[in-house]
Structure 1
Amino acid sequence: MYITEAKFQREQNNFDALRLLAAFMVFITHSYGFPIDPISRLTGGTYTLSSWGLIIFFTLSGFLVCRSISRSSLRDYFWNRFLRICPALAVCSLLMVIIPGCIFTTLPLREFLLHPGTWHFLLQNSFPVQVVFKLPGVFNERAVNVSLWTIPLEIKLYIALTSWFLVEKKALSLKKHRRITLAEELIAQPENKANQYK
């Protein structure tokens, strides 16, 4: 199925509504005041509202990222992915160090701020090939932001998509080359046969 460029315009689709629905599903599941998850109940605990919300997010992301990679150079594609993830995540990581970190750490504030684990959390999560969930002395060394688990997965999916795109592009190029070669052979065949009878 081919989708025209016009369908990507905001007024022509419901991507924002789907994103809002997905965010609401994740929010509901992560809220302690919502005791019953209807999806979990219907599926015997196999799925939750948040798992379906994540499926929606990843599906929309895949759809839009496929469009992005097909319309731009690889350099621009990777730069756009970097800008989409890293600056916001760096700010988020800094806020996690400042707000829950400084407020809830059991370490003296100066020790917390100079602790290698704090800097490791901040720097590693700003360029997240692998994320760090814990801050020293915060929440009894439990995760500060569990939702970061999706970021390395997202990066791996971007890389997988790029690999697939490059293979597909090469395959199409070879197929086009084969068609040209076949056409040349078909054109040359009558000439060769004619030369045989001379």
Structure 2
Amino acid sequence: MIADSRKNNFNIIRFVAAMMVVLGHMCHLIAVDVSLFLGQAVSTIGVKIFFLISGYLIAQSFLNDSNIFRYAVRRIFRIIPGLIGVVLFAVFVVGPVFTVLPVSEYFANGMTWSYLKNIALYVQYFLPGVFEANPYPNAINGSLWTLPVEVMMYVAVPVIFLLFRKGNKVVIAGVLAVVLEIANLAIGKFRPDAFYVIYGTDMVSALSIIPYFFLGIVFLSSKVKKYLNLQLAIGILCIAEMMNFSSLKSEIMVFVVLPYFIFSFAFAEEPKFVKCFSKNDFSYGLYLYGFVIQQVIVKILWEYQLTLNVYFVICACATTVFGMLSWFLVERPAQRLAKKILKSERVAKLGKFDITKIE
């Protein structure tokens, strides 16, 4: 029997996924071999876990309340305030402190103000004169590229559910996941250097994670959940980790094995981590601040020739602090404001339509 969907291990999974992203990025930022899990960079697996969980929770939220305006308010106030915080932190704190330019020149440079486009989800990676001498030079926050993709999925959920109002949402989501994954595999096989940018986002890279969002929706079905088994999932995961597959076979394996393990763990009987971060969710803040804080720490400590493990521990602790600050100072107040807005009777009456529930 699978645990009640309201009692799950999602919060601890998101925290671990955020730390996987920190570890994976740490390898790049100090120029060492990238840590792998299931044949892929551990940070890549972390991002795919985020999209799996996001697909499940976002679709569930929309099914519970299909008021378009209320849905939009919840999504905007969940993602944008934290993003604004980290972008302003980079421009007005990290930039002036670490740029090799005089501060007056830094603020006179158009690239500085162009970085603010990140708030509008138009991804910009550089600030003038910042981190130029780092082992991974110039990049301020490489994590931001996934946020436009996430917002695309926020838009896709109500659009798809409206277009297929009377259809089986699980089947539709599953078909989309498989079709998009086949397209991703085909590009990786025949056009590995493909690069197609729309609004500052590489859509080829986006295609590598979008299928996982739709896979997450599949697990809303009780008919799918009944096949989840944590012991079996752990066994399959261990066997998969021991295999040495090509990149193509590894991607197929991850597509099959990772969702089954994540949701088996999330809905395990008597979930032991249900209370972890139940009131305070730091995972988004960890994800937002990880890369930039890591670059700062590498800049400060590079001359000491620290090992990967030491860097990771230091950066994990520092990023957790900033994740907590983001939650308490920005994200939680923003969510409280969103709740006040949602109490408006005018908002409650707008944008409502009926949809078929997932069984």
Q: Which has the higher contact order (CA 8 A, sep 6+)?
A: 2
SS of structure 2 residue aligned to 1:84: helix
What is the one-letter code of the residue matched to 1:105? T
Find the aligned partners of 2:54 and 2:34 in 1 and give their Cα distance: 28
> Would you say 1:165 and 2:148 are equivalent positions?
no
SS of structure 2 residue aligned to 1:151: helix
Find the aligned partners of 2:161 and 2:109 in 1 and give their Cα distance: 43
TM-score, normalised to structure 2, is 0.41
Tell me which of 110, 125, 131 is aligned to 2:123: 131
Find the aligned partners of 2:21 and 2:167 in 1 and give their Cα distance: 39
> Would you say 1:7 and 2:5 are equivalent positions?
yes
Tell me which of 46, 62, 70 is aligned to 2:63: 70
Find the aligned partners of 1:115 and 1:30 in 2 and give their Cα distance: 28
Find the aligned partners of 1:50 and 1:112 in 2 and give their Cα distance: 32
Q: Number of residues paired by the alignment?
A: 161
> Would you say 1:110 and 2:104 are equivalent positions?
yes
SS of structure 2 residue aligned to 1:144: coil
Aligned to 1:37: 35
Show CA shifts across 1:82-113 (max 9, x none): 11111111110011112321122232212212
Moved over 3 A (4+): 32-36, 170-173
Deviation at 1:38, TM superposition (A): 4.1
Could you say what the CA RMSD is over the residues aligned between the two structures, in angstroms?
Answer: 2.6
Find the aligned partners of 1:151 and 1:24 in 2 and give their Cα distance: 17
Find the aligned partners of 1:7 and 1:156 in 2 and give their Cα distance: 25
Show CA shifts across 1:97-144 (max 9, x none): 12321122232212212433212212x11121x211111222337221
Aligned to 1:59: 52
> Would you say 1:24 and 2:19 are equivalent positions?
yes
What is the one-letter code of the residue matched to 1:116? G
TM-score, normalised to structure 1, is 0.71
SS of structure 2 residue aligned to 1:16: helix
Instruction: Indicate the structure with greater helix content.
Output: 1
Q: Percent identity?
A: 35
Between 1:22-31 and 1:89-98, the stretch displaced more is 22-31
Structure 1 gaps of 5+ residues are 177-198
Deviation at 1:60, TM superposition (A): 0.4
Find the aligned partners of 1:155 and 1:38 in 2 and give their Cα distance: 28
> 1:103–1:19: structure 2 CA closer, same or farther, 3 Å change rule?
same
SS of structure 1 residue aligned to 2:58: helix
Tell me which of 77, 84, 107 is aligned to 1:83: 77
Find the aligned partners of 1:104 and 1:52 in 2 and give their Cα distance: 31
> 1:36–1:171: structure 2 CA closer, same or farther, 3 Å change rule?
closer
Find the aligned partners of 1:68 and 1:48 in 2 and give their Cα distance: 30
Find the aligned partners of 2:41 and 2:115 in 1 and give their Cα distance: 29
Deviation at 1:36, TM superposition (A): 6.2
Show CA shifts across 1:159-191 (max 9, x none): 222211111226699xx9xxxxxxxxxxxxxxx
Between 1:20-29 and 1:58-67, the stretch displaced more is 20-29
